[in-house]
Amino acid sequence: MNTFKKNIDKIEALNLSGYGHDFLLTWDKSKDELEATLLLAELLKERHRQGKPNLVFDSGLAVSIFRDNSTRTRFSFASAANALGLAVSDMDEEKSQVSHGETVRETANMISFMTRVIGIRDDMYLGEGHTYMKEVSEAVQTGFEEGVLHNRPGLINLQSDIDHPTQSMSDLAMLKQYFGSLDNLKGKKIAMSWAYSPSYGKPLSVPQGIIGLLTRYGMDVTLAHPEGYSLIPDVIDLADKQAHDSGGSFTVVNSMEEAFTDADVVYPKSWAPFHVMEQRTELLKEGDKAGLKTLEQNCLANNAKFLEWECSEEKMALTKAGEALYMHCLPADITGVSCAQGEVSAAVFDKYRRDTYLEASYKPFIIAAMMFLTSLKDPMAKVDLLGV
């Protein structure tokens, strides 16, 4: 039995009845739905490697809305859409009627007449991004039910203030490949650690995505950060509960060295403290440029107290046999390369550069799998065609 058929049989054995039209938070998806996404991504990736087409849409648009800068996710979304047969339209809100007060409900319907999937990145405002995505979802659902839209577009979170599911699912795909299976993740220790960066305001969604997903697979997840650099409390509580339910563990420490000790995987990544993102959101809403400048200066000064929070060769030596897998969502702040002092030493990053690129290579296929499962009327019938 070939690999394609094996993956298809595995997908068809899973319960996907509740997959739905949206992929907003990984913890809203069942384990079956997450596994199906991974299996389909692997199938699409292997078909692409072999030069086989994955054109499952006859026509239609994939609309992307990016309210923050992006390289990997932007190009992954476009690549995924094109590979499945969709044309890509990047919505520039400055050139739309949004700037003239057009409502979310109206915008969502106006861009969706022949649209099959919408991807949104909205991570700048704490408490706003996920809420906006839900508003768009409700608007297109109503449009479909009222007969305005012929198809109900799928909606994919390309990074919100709460979660970054296309990234964390790509990370999970990498871990599955690295350790051989999802079952082999049980008992493995991952250190999701804050790391120093000469910038401020980095979203919370990557570390939250990691602890919100990997605690479901029986891993020993350690979250490390200096005092005051906490994440959204609800996500912390969720991770703790999921770890208990999966037979893993979830620990919060204030030492990078403690987190790295005997770790199988390390994920050093800077983020802004939860309370800072709350302040930043209010200042952005008010258009208070002076307040934002003061906040930035204060935060950078506080970050500078923790220069030693760098993923160095010495800290990597504390990991399991000194050979833990280094992961990062990219771009990393590399000491002596992209900045004077950063998240990771040049030596460590260079050693694991290929691994981080492989980690990123799963993203277009993860997004394609999400498009496939949220946006096709009968995805399982199309899955069968991929075995050809």
Q: What is the pLDDT of residues 73-105, one digit of tens each?
A: 999 999 999 999 999 999 977 666 565 568 999
Q: Which domains does the chain have, with CATH numbers?
A: 3-161+363-385 (3.40.50.1370), 165-351 (3.40.50.1370)
Q: pLDDT tens digits for 39-78?
A: 999 999 999 999 999 999 999 999 999 988 899 999 999 9
Orientation of helix 233-246 relative to helix 205-214, angle to 10°: 20
> Mean pLDDT in the chain?
95
Q: Is the separation of the CB atoms in 149 and 116 below 8 Å?
A: no
Lowest mean pLDDT among 92-106, 258-272, 279-293, 302-316: 92-106
Q: How far apart are CA 357 and CA 337, in angstroms?
A: 17
The candidate with the shortest Cα–Cα distance to 177, out of 377, 341, 355, 386, is 355
More confident residue, 380 or 192: 192
String of b and e for 225-246 (b: at least 16 CB within 10 Å)? bbeebbbbeebbebbbebbeeb
Residues 210-240: pLDDT tens digits?
999 999 999 999 999 999 999 999 999 999 9
In the structure encoding, which two tokens stand for residue 27, read together? Answer: 């913890």
pLDDT of residue 171: 98
- Using one digit for the tens of pLDDT, what is the confidence trace for 299-308? 999 999 999 9
Query: What integer pLDDT is reported at residue 69 of this predicted model?
Result: 87
What are the backbone dihedrals phi and psi of residue 193, each rounded to the nearest 5 degrees, phi first? -120, 140
Residue 387, pLDDT above cutoff 90: no
Q: In the structure encoding, which two tokens stand for residue 215, read together? A: 């605690």
Task: Indicate whether 1 pLDDT > 60.
Answer: no
State pTM to two decimals. 0.96
Residue-wise DSSP of 301-349: HHHGGGTT--B-HHHHTTSGGG-PEE---S---BBTTTBSS-SB-HHHH
Residues 161 and 193: beta-carbon distance below 8 Å? no
d(Cα 362, Cα 374) in Å, to the nearest integer? 18
Question: How would residue 377 be classed by pLDDT, with cut points 50, 70 and 90?
Answer: confident
